[in-house]
Amino acid sequence: MTLPVIISTILVACMGLAVAMIRMRAAARPVTAKKIILPPLFMSTGALMFLFPVFRVPWLEVWYSLGAGVIFSSLLILTSNFEVRDGEIFLKPSKAFAIILVGLVFVRVLLKVAIGQTIEIGEMGGVFFLLAFGMIVSWRIAMLWKYKRLERSLHVA
């Protein structure tokens, strides 16, 4: 394994830990649609990497990466639920979320090691960006749908 692969793997593990910590703190504050929508929008700026040829990915790999992200997000979708407290909507804390997130980071590291020998580091970065983007977009769409459904039921009651 090369030094860039090792460094990027450590960074991914740190980001996964940061996401878990942010998620736990977020459960203490009410959720808004804006808080659900903004992370994928902020992440979308990373797609600018594809302006540079070193990061470009063949179309078949684009679809595989996005599809894998959607599949991985299903676990996050299952553990992302909301509850109403004092008339406001909160993210329900889930012990399974942290375990699932660690598992997803572990699977991502295994995939990186497995394919890291067959594709260039830039292309691998593109593949894993697409995987993460597919995962966060589908997860956040599902969260927004659950949030809006609960919000509507609050206003109807």
pLDDT tens-digit map of 17-32: 777 777 677 678 899 9
Question: How large is the average pLDDT for residues 139-150?
Answer: 96
Contact (CB, 8 A) for 37 and 58: no
DSSP 34-59: HHHHHHHHHHHGGGGGGGSGGG---H
Question: What's the predicted TM-score (pTM) here?
Answer: 0.82
Q: What angle do CA 149, 154, 157 make, to 5 degrees?
A: 120
Which segments of 27-120 does DSSP mark as H helices, in order?
33-44, 59-79, 95-115
pLDDT tens-digit map of 21-69: 776 776 788 999 999 999 999 999 999 999 999 999 999 999 999 999 9
